[in-house]
Amino acid sequence: MQAQSNGELPTRNDIPKELTWNVEDIYKTLKLWENDFKWVEDAEKKYAEFKGKLSVLPDNLYSCLKFDEEVGIKLSQLYLYASLSRDLDLNNAENQGRYDRVSNLGSKIGAASSFIIPELLTIPEEKLWDFVDKKVELKIYKHQLEDILRTKAHTLTPKEEELMALAGPVRGVPSNVFGMFNNADIQFPTVKDEKGNEIKISHGRYGAAMFSTDRDYRKRVYKGMYKPFMEYKNTLVAMFNGNIKSYIFNAKARDYKSTRTASLDANNIPLEVYDNLVNTVNENFAPLHRWAKLKKKILKLKELHPYDTYVTLFPAVKKEYDYEVSKEILLKALKPLGEDYLNSLQLAFNNRWIDVHETKGKRSGAYSSGVSYGVHPYVLLNWTDQLNDVFTFAHEMGHNMHSYYTEKNQPYPYANYSIFVAEVASTANEALLLDYLIANAKTKEEKLALIEKQLTGITTTFYRQTRFAEYEQLVHEKTENGEALTPEVLCDLYGKMYGKYWGPEMIVDEEETYTWTRVPHFYYNFYVYQYATSYAASQELVVQIKKEGQPAIDRFLNFLKAGSSQYPIDVLKTAGVDMTSPKPILAVVNKMNELLDQLEELLAE
């Protein structure tokens, strides 16, 4: 299905209808889309009717919030239809035009409705809650209003907020410049590939090369990859420091104690969650050190270097996975989640929620479209019959089911979920899939390859992201304390931290100490820790589901249904996971030790 007989990618017409999206679930015709577009366009002017009146009567407040909801629902459906249509054929100018139109309309609506929160905050709290008591329809907004009031101390005057908004593009310059340098301007050297051909290094080729069994090739690409970053270290340190200082400006302007406090407060995440992750991982490096030692032994190396960390240990295992067969695998692997979950999966499988195959002009990669109120979520795939496709499928269906259950069970104000919990359902699905595949592997070699895959996943998603989080905290704190971060200081800090995580078997090459120059996530302001916490939460949930059965399944489904009706930390607690506790972090540590035990036992046979 990937290509026609002439080697060309298939067109949309070449793909069976049942393996494509049915965007008519959103709008039956383009005329209906245009009708809603016109309605939202007209709604922009109507926001002015509510301005300055929210504090007068409870009816005024309710009418405004309800109107904003109606606009939001239609706008999200307009956007969903336009974005899905665009992604099916990026060469279609008409689809791109619709996407641009709705994006511009969204900006206008954002500007027109921007008065709502500042005006809400001018209402005395006692009066606001009196409104809620008198107008029963306002009770649904209670948690939303509490969250708005929670940030009142860090909300500035209208004039100051206007200045902060004007400063936004300026504050974004370091990140934007880094993005342009990293994705467009950077020039990588050429090296010889495994067959002796000259190739120019790229981000994609670097990633693939690190899994190559040709060690000299890995080393050439590794050293070549870092060369331009090392050459431009002074430019990159200016971007790096400028980015940190922009977040310090924001934190100080809004009266936060630190950049980390300001970032985590957006989702009301206690600092102890971050500290618990970093501290517990620091107490449990043993499995990663053990993995490094085992890798070195299997690869028969005198020295283990960073370019040896991802190499495939069991390359002989090759197996193709058909999409239809993979659906059956998923239904079996996710059986522990119960009948209700499996029925919901079947609903997605049987009703064209998934666009499966690569076609001319289709967007690359994979995603789930998220919550769009009143419409089911969609999944984009680009199937190539590889094992990674099966895991991507499981991952995206985790997102899809999370969005589906949330939209089905929450009113519009809470029909979304925080990034803090966004990766939990997806990684739980991956964990269950891997356990199923390992348990049902036909050969020793297949089982070894699957165990290695999960060990690599823990290394990259859990330990590496925690290392990034610890480093990010360290460099922000040093800057806030007035310490100068030169390239030499940043390299020294990163090199020591890398060595601490990987342990005594690892030789830390000079190139590795420059990792701070090339990680885009360091520009995202305390974002990376959430990869590790989500991974840990999912592992703990899977342990509970397998141990307890239905009670844990019910908690998991309630987690999927909760949306943002509670703060994300509380949604997880209700599901049975306390991210302020070491327990979920230790669940990953224990899982890695179990996998290493299995690997060593198989190798000893």
The rounded percent of the chain whose pLDDT value lies above 90 is 88
Tens of pLDDT, residue by residue over 202-229, are 988 898 899 999 999 999 999 999 999 9
- State yes or no: pLDDT of 5 exceeds 50: no
3-state secondary structure 472-518: HHHHHHHHHCCCCCCHHHHHHHHHHHHHHHHCCCECCCHHHHHHHHC
253, part of any domain: no
Task: Name the residue with higher pLDDT: 371 or 489.
Answer: 489
Helix residue ranges per DSSP H, 352-386? none
Tokens of 484: 């100068």
SS3 state of residue 382:
coil
Co-location of 475 and 596 in the same domain:
yes
Give the integer Cα–Cα distance in Å for 545 and 4.
44
Tokens of 284: 């449990």
Tens of pLDDT, residue by residue over 89-115, are 988 999 999 999 999 999 899 989 989
Question: For the chain, what is the domain count?
Answer: 2
Tokens of 403: 């969005």
540, part of any domain: yes
pLDDT at 605: 84
CB-count exposure of residue 143 (10 Å: 0-12, 13-18, 19+): middle
pLDDT at 309: 95
SS3 state of residue 355:
strand
pLDDT at 163: 86
Give the integer Cα–Cα distance in Å for 113 and 139.
21
Q: Are 429 and 564 in contact (CB under 8 A)?
A: no
Q: Are 572 and 276 in contact (CB under 8 A)?
A: no
SS3 state of residue 57:
coil
Q: Are 502 and 292 in contact (CB under 8 A)?
A: yes
CB-count exposure of residue 148 (10 Å: 0-12, 13-18, 19+): middle
Which of 155, 177, 195 is the C-terminal boundary of a domain?
155
Which residues belong to the active site? 396
Task: Provide the CATH number for the domain around residue 506.
Answer: 1.10.1370.20
- State yes or no: pLDDT of 312 exceeds 60: yes
DSSP state of 62: H
Which of 155, 172, 189 is the C-terminal boundary of a domain?
155
- State yes or no: pLDDT of 447 exceeds 70: yes
Co-location of 280 and 408 in the same domain:
yes
Element (H, E) at 190: strand 190-192
Tens of pLDDT, residue by residue over 21-43, are 999 999 999 999 999 999 999 99
Q: Which residue has the tokens 């499981």?
A: 394
pLDDT at 204: 85
43, part of any domain: yes
441, part of any domain: yes
229, part of any domain: no
Residues written for the chain: 605
434-443 contacts, C-beta under 8 A, 24 or more apart = 434/391, 435/333, 435/542, 436/329, 436/332, 436/333, 437/329, 437/333, 438/598, 443/317
Local confidence band at 3 (pLDDT 50, 70, 90 cut-offs): very low
Domain range spanning residue 57? 12-155
Tens of pLDDT, residue by residue over 296-309, are 999 999 999 999 99
Give the predicted TM-score (pTM) of the model: 0.91
- Residue 102 vs residues 18, 31, 69, 89, 106: alpha-carbon distances, Å: 28, 15, 17, 17, 6
Helix residue ranges per DSSP H, 25-57? 30-46
Tens of pLDDT, residue by residue over 340-355, are 999 999 999 999 999 9
pLDDT at 7: 61
SS3 state of residue 367:
strand
Local confidence band at 169 (pLDDT 50, 70, 90 cut-offs): confident
- Residue 21 vs residues 24, 50, 406, 462: alpha-carbon distances, Å: 9, 39, 21, 34
Q: Which residue has the tokens 């500035």?
A: 156
Which of 155, 184, 215 is the C-terminal boundary of a domain?
155
Tokens of 271: 């600092």
259, part of any domain: no
Q: Are 465 and 427 in contact (CB under 8 A)?
A: no
Mean predicted confidence (pLDDT) in 266-282: 97
Q: Are 265 and 543 in contact (CB under 8 A)?
A: no
- State yes or no: pLDDT of 61 exceeds 70: yes
Task: Provide the CATH number for the domain around residue 58.
Answer: 1.20.140.70
pLDDT at 6: 52
196, part of any domain: no
Mean predicted confidence (pLDDT) in 503-528: 96
Residue-wise DSSP of 212-232: -S-HHHHHHHHHHHHHHHHHT
122, part of any domain: yes
Strands (E), 300-444: 354-355, 367-368, 379-380
- State yes or no: pLDDT of 240 exceeds 80: yes
The alpha carbon dihedral of 406, 407, 408, 409 has a sign of positive
- State yes or no: pLDDT of 317 exceeds 90: no
